[in-house]
Structure 1
Amino acid sequence: MSEQTQGKKSFFDGNFGRFILPAIILQSTLIGGGYATGREIVAYGAKFGSLGWIAGLAIFLGFGLMAFLMFEVARIFRAYDYKSMVKNLIGPFWFLFDIIYLLLAVLIISIMAAATGSIVESTLGINYWIGVVGIAVIVGILNLYGERLIERFETYGTIALMIGYIIFGIMVISTTWDDAMQVFASGNTSYVSDFSIWAIIWSGIIYVGYNLAVYPAALFTVKRQKSIKDTVVSGLVAGVLMTLPWFLTYFALMGFYPSEDVFGAEIPWLQMLDGYGTWVVVLFGIVVGWTLVETATGMIHAFLERLDNNLEELGKKKLTKKQSGLVAFITLAASVLLAEVGIMDLVSKGYTALGYGMLIVFGLPLITVGPYKIYKHFKEKKQKADTVA
């Protein structure tokens, strides 16, 4: 590559890279484990019927706040991998995050791989293993070519996925709008009983906690951010992008509330799309396969960034492109095998524990230590400016 080519700035290096790209990487990594099937929206909001939007609001605020705090702490301390980030938050206990992150990443990818393989097989007619291995190869290739390809793939991929979910949402909501409005008009919350407003809010908080594992995937994009304005705007954009699919799915689900056929289904979206034609089911299969690619790519890339940082600290060379691609492929393949041999049942029981663990070692420090460090940084900066003046 020539110096002239290297010196050229792309669209990704301007305002888009500073304000929008970090949010897109977060949303694209989240979408597989958070929205693909619709099951998560049922469990963390839609089950509360007409009041479920409260959980959605809590999720929006939580996602946006966490994104801003992580972006700003990363920007201030140049912590562009999760080890450096967590060291600034919990010091010598950073290894606890490492353990929880890896377990949660493998678990999320395992569950997504198993679900995706089955969905792709039933919707596209592609053999389970051909579908999953094909996805593993794509993830390996993306990590082989690194950040620039991942940025572009996940940007364009997220646009395509959002178009897909908007199409699904419009189709379902437009035909079930009257039923959904009846749910809100009557205040229907009959799918669950004996709950408080706090229980709904807490449901949203736990949902944010489960998904904190996707946040490190966006750290490498913070290198372009220059000021707190950049992190505030990109945090707000992240909150919107990460919550939009939640609300689309929520309002679609309200048209079927409280049907057990939909709310009790493993893949509510497939139930809601039943009867719209084969092409819709095929499109859904493609969308779900793509969500696994984006989620796995984002989470594995964050792990590779952490490995490279650790190798640099030890005075060793970073992973080569081939090594990065191979690690990505092996990680995804191992996740698939774990799901197949029945270990998924075991680790699934620890899902809640890992979610709480992520809240403790990352969520709580981010909303307590994070603001303190940001305040301290700006205070010291002001004192230096006053001294010079």
Structure 2
Amino acid sequence: MSRWLQVYVMPPAVFVSVIMGGGYGTGREVVEYFSRYGNGEGLLGVLVSTLLFAVVFGLTFDFARRMGTYEYREFFRQLIGPFWWTFELLYLLLFFLVLGVLSSAAGNILSSRFGVPEYLGLTMMLAVVAAMVFFGREVLERILTAWMFAMYGVFLLYFVFVLQQFNGNAVDVPLSVEAVPGALKGGSLYALYNVALAPVLLFAVRGIETRKEAFGCGAVTAALVMLPAAMFHFSFFLGLPEILDEAVPVYWMIEQYAPSWMLPLYLVALLGTLAQTGAGLVQGVIERVEFALTPERDDGMGHWPRALIAIAALGISAGFASLGIISLIARGYSAMAVGFAIVYVAPLLLFGHSRIRTRQ
């Protein structure tokens, strides 16, 4: 594999694929953290998130490179010492919360569109995720990379159809002084809970060799992560205010503004994205378990233990899914953002460089 692919394609593909599922696939996170504040304010929130992502991604990738650690427990042992377990606890909660959102979204769509019982939708997703992690890291990375381009294709097609609905009229994106603080808060919260996935997905950045590559990869990843947010927020201008109460806003937008044949295409892409997001998250946990149980082995655990971890994790997440996707995103994700800001982002910004110098 070429250096360019290793540094500037593979890592962004893995991160975008994982982050895309729960938020962009459904559009619910874009509505909750950007669109509900208004047109101009939402775009400001997207910019804030992009800058935060770029800074934290770059610092994280460079810290992992220079410390030589690509497993998140060891990463936090180096960053916050004896308090490493605080991230472990928060991530475990976020892990089940995100899987709950994915499961709820999959069950909601399969039930409303095809009349499939929600429990059956959860079971189908569980089987697909378990199959994806069954074959290990390298196969999963290829799947995530390929599906990122497929999902971007669907998103671009969606955006083209929605863009046509503006009929050449000017788009009004005023900034309300009163709403700006809320937009800044929404953009910050969105970045803070999503960026917490970075240490768990460090298996994808092993090819980075220099500080320049680390920050370059961080900037590319941030831009690709937030591009769909800007696209969807812009498209949601047409659906306000009705779209604010939709559990799966993109589904509703396609029903309203796109050709009928677009809906099944979107559903296939979305369900695949939800599954790959779950697989990416589970793979991160598997990396952690492998490091703890078989630190001396390069090949890690076998196929079946990986699949069993996926099954157990998705089984627990089904309980979170019963709370509903809107409540999980609005309340659960915001609380997680505050926690990760304290135990991960703040120490990385304040102490990351000094930790590296101490190690050297």
State if a TM-score over 0.5 links the two structures. yes
Aligned to 1:211: 194
Aligned to 1:265: 246
Aligned to 2:99: 109
Aligned to 1:45: 34
Match of 1:194 among 178, 186, 195: 178
Q: Is the 8 A contact 1:124 1:282 kept in 2?
A: no
Aligned to 2:48: 58
- Report the Cα distance in structure 1 between the residues aligned to 2:114 and 2:124, rounded to whole angstroms: 14
Which residue identity lines up with residue 231 of structure 1 in the other structure?
A
- How far did residue 124 of structure 1 move? 4.7
- How far did residue 287 of structure 1 move? 2.1
Q: Is the 8 A contact 1:111 1:339 kept in 2?
A: yes
Please, what is the CA RMSD of the aligned residues?
2.7
Q: Secondary structure at the match of 1:331?
A: helix
- Report the Cα distance in structure 1 between the residues aligned to 2:329 and 2:255, rounded to whole angstroms: 31
- How far did residue 214 of structure 1 move? 2.2
User: 124-133 or 57-66, which moves further after superposition?
Assistant: 124-133
Q: Percent identity?
A: 26
User: 62-71 or 44-53, which moves further after superposition?
Assistant: 44-53
Aligned to 1:248: 231
- How far did residue 86 of structure 1 move? 1.2
Which residue identity lines up with residue 27 of structure 1 in the other structure?
V
Match of 1:34 among 9, 19, 23: 23
Tell me: CA distance 1:125–1:162, structure 2 relative to 1, closer, same or farther (3 Å): farther
- How far did residue 57 of structure 1 move? 0.7
Which residue identity lines up with residue 237 of structure 1 in the other structure?
V
Q: Structure 2: which 5+ residue stretches go unaligned?
A: none
Q: Is the 8 A contact 1:217 1:298 kept in 2?
A: no
Which residue identity lines up with residue 227 of structure 1 in the other structure?
T
- Report the Cα distance in structure 2 between the residues aligned to 1:194 and 1:168, rounded to whole angstroms: 32
- Report the Cα distance in structure 2 between the residues aligned to 1:320 and 1:44, rounded to whole angstroms: 40
Aligned to 2:287: 305
Q: Is the 8 A contact 1:140 1:325 kept in 2?
A: yes
- How far did residue 188 of structure 1 move? 7.0
Structure 1 residues 318-337: aligned runs within 5 Å: 318-337=300-319
Which residue identity lines up with residue 16 of structure 1 in the other structure?
L
Superposition TM-score, scaled by structure 2 size: 0.90
- Report the Cα distance in structure 1 between the residues aligned to 2:54 and 2:90, rounded to whole angstroms: 22
Q: Does 1:158 align with 2:148?
A: yes
TM-superposition CA deviations, 1:313-345 (whole Å, max 9, x none)? 599x94322101111122112212442388996
Tell me: CA distance 1:299–1:247, structure 2 relative to 1, closer, same or farther (3 Å): same
Match of 2:221 among 238, 245, 270: 238
- How far did residue 263 of structure 1 move? 2.3
Structure 1 residue runs of 4 or more that deviate by more than 6 Å after TM superposition: 341-348
Q: Secondary structure at the match of 2:54?
A: helix
Tell me: CA distance 1:177–1:332, structure 2 relative to 1, closer, same or farther (3 Å): farther
- Report the Cα distance in structure 2 between the residues aligned to 1:347 and 1:53, rounded to whole angstroms: 20
Aligned to 2:274: 292
User: 27-36 or 240-249, which moves further after superposition?
Assistant: 27-36
Tell me: CA distance 1:177–1:59, structure 2 relative to 1, closer, same or farther (3 Å): farther
Which residue identity lines up with residue 228 of structure 2 in the other structure?
P
- Report the Cα distance in structure 2 between the residues aligned to 1:354 and 1:233, rounded to whole angstroms: 27
Q: Secondary structure at the match of 1:224?
A: coil
Q: Does 1:146 align with 2:146?
A: no
Q: Secondary structure at the match of 1:36?
A: coil
Which residue identity lines up with residue 7 of structure 2 in the other structure?
R
TM-superposition CA deviations, 1:258-317 (whole Å, max 9, x none)? x322222222212221243332221221122122112111111111111111124599x9
- Report the Cα distance in structure 1 between the residues aligned to 2:43 and 2:91, rounded to whole angstroms: 29
Tell me: CA distance 1:234–1:364, structure 2 relative to 1, closer, same or farther (3 Å): same
- Report the Cα distance in structure 1 between the residues aligned to 2:296 and 2:88, rounded to whole angstroms: 18
- Report the Cα distance in structure 2 between the residues aligned to 1:57 and 1:98, rounded to whole angstroms: 29
Q: Is the 8 A contact 1:261 1:271 kept in 2?
A: no
- How far did residue 347 of structure 1 move? 10
Tell me: CA distance 1:177–1:75, structure 2 relative to 1, closer, same or farther (3 Å): farther
Aligned to 2:89: 99
Match of 1:274 among 234, 240, 255: 255
Aligned to 2:75: 85
Q: Is the 8 A contact 2:39 2:234 kept in 1?
A: no
TM-superposition CA deviations, 1:144-189 (whole Å, max 9, x none)? 111111110000011111111111111112212545x3422xx276
- Report the Cα distance in structure 2 between the residues aligned to 1:241 and 1:341, rounded to whole angstroms: 30
Q: Secondary structure at the match of 1:176?
A: coil
- Report the Cα distance in structure 1 between the residues aligned to 2:136 and 2:244, rounded to whole angstroms: 39
Q: Is the 8 A contact 1:46 1:52 kept in 2?
A: yes
Superposition TM-score, scaled by structure 1 size: 0.84
Tell me: CA distance 1:245–1:182, structure 2 relative to 1, closer, same or farther (3 Å): closer
TM-superposition CA deviations, 1:80-121 (whole Å, max 9, x none)? 111011111111101111111011110111122111121133
Aligned to 1:170: 160
Q: Secondary structure at the match of 2:206?
A: helix
- Report the Cα distance in structure 2 between the residues aligned to 1:265 and 1:365, rounded to whole angstroms: 37
